[in-house]
Homo-oligomer: A and B are copies of this chain.
Amino acid sequence: MTNQRDPTLQMLAQHLGIHVSTVSRVLNGSDQEAAKAASAKSIARIKALAEEWEYRPNPHAISLRKSRSNLIGVIVPRISDLVLAFIYEGIEQTALDHSYFTFVTNSYNDPQTQLKQIRTAQRRRVDGLILGDAHMDAAMRPPLSTLRMPFVLVNRRSGTLPSVTCNDYLGGCLAAEHLLQQGHTCIGIVAGLSFTSTGQERAAGFIDTCRERGVHIPPDYCMECSFDTAAGHATAARLLTLRPQPSAIFAVNDFGAIGAMGAVRAASLRVGPDIAVVGFNDTPLAAELPVPLTSIRSPLHEMGAKSMELLLSLLQGEYVESIRLQPEIIIRASSLGK
């Protein structure tokens, strides 16, 4: 019976001389329902044949009939940003565990593109969305509340929309406490994009903590920039031209911090002894850099997993609360004097 086409319910039913509806109930109802639908003997026969023929239900037929697709759309700024890749791994694994499929696309932080990708996903009839590219500024973002579809934000939050994020403010505090403890009083910030909650809150936590300890960070020592290495380099270079020159730099993400380290070296200064550098996210790179990078660890995989769990709850019609995960500081050579 190893012919070309995959077996269908109908083929099984016909072969067994049992009606297709009965076969259906046995094969995917609960044990209870199965018992109601057929005798023990029939159940055994059906299951045996399904096994032998390696019957796999056609997902398109199921989706059509049930009008749900078991598909989740994931939209991120860029999947080649390591941070998002780790988050996505958490999402994808959790989805698979619950027999959902996910597909992921880039929006490049462009609201226009984000909206387009959302529409494309909806055309594919996804059951829900996970958005990793939220803008804080409600005016700047597509009207998410009009999505008419369950969704959750991940990594970045926005207003009261359901989200799973790191406690970025606290992360900023941790970074500040460490640098203050090292005796720094003049500090520059590579602040990320201002419309992201990540950038905004990490910087805010940092600045507030400094102020509480009597260290003032002037506005021009806190520079907005995008989250890639090149931007981090350029921004840190500008920070280093300020007078008085900062003795430490806090970058709100590791890629930015790596760029900053490059800028420090390009200015013939040493990372650590001359200029302390602290990053954020503790990507696996951080520990292995030529000068190991002090970084705030955020639980990326867990963040992705939790966001998927939240969405699953939402799909069940349950009420959910946003989640904030705890960061932790990992101190390495880049922020320690000689």
Contacts and interface: CB of A to CB of B under 8 A. Distances in A.
A14 interface: no
Given A88-B79, A103-B102, A262 B284 contact: no
A64 B8 CA distance: 12
A289 interface: yes
A148 B167 CA distance: 48
A288 B233 contact: yes
Given A60-B60, A60-B125, A285 B258 contact: yes
Interface string A73-116: 00000111010011011001000100001111110000000000
A261 interface: yes
B285 A229 contact: yes
A63 B59 CA distance: 10
Contacts of A61: 60, 64
A59 B92 contact: no
Interface residues of A, number: 49
B262 A292 contact: yes
Contacts of A292: 262
Contact of A80 (B86, B229, B265, B290): B86
Interface string A266-302: 0000010000000000001101111110000000000
Contact of A290 (B101, B123, B262): B262
Determine the main DSSP class of A at the interface with B. Answer: helix
A177 interface: no
Interface string A35-66: 00000000000000000000010111101100
A89 B106 contact: yes
A290 B288 contact: no
Contact of A92 (B96, B105, B285): B105
A280 B233 CA distance: 22
A60 B59 CA distance: 8
A230 B284 contact: yes
A69 interface: yes
11 contacts: A56-B123, A59-B123, A60-B64, A60-B125, A61-B64, A64-B64, A82-B82, A89-B106, A229-B285, A258-B288, A264-B290
Contacts of A255: 285
Contacts of A324: none
B96 A229 contact: no
A132 interface: no
Contacts of A96: 105, 120
Contact of A125 (B58, B264, B288): B58
Contact of A60 (B69, B105, B284): B69
Contact of A258 (B64, B82, B101, B289): B289
Nearest to A68: B60
A58 B64 CA distance: 8
A228 interface: yes
A22 to B, nearest CB: 22
A31 B109 CA distance: 37
B285 A285 contact: yes
Contact of A271 (B69, B102, B290): B290
A61 B284 CA distance: 44
A276 to B, nearest CB: 14
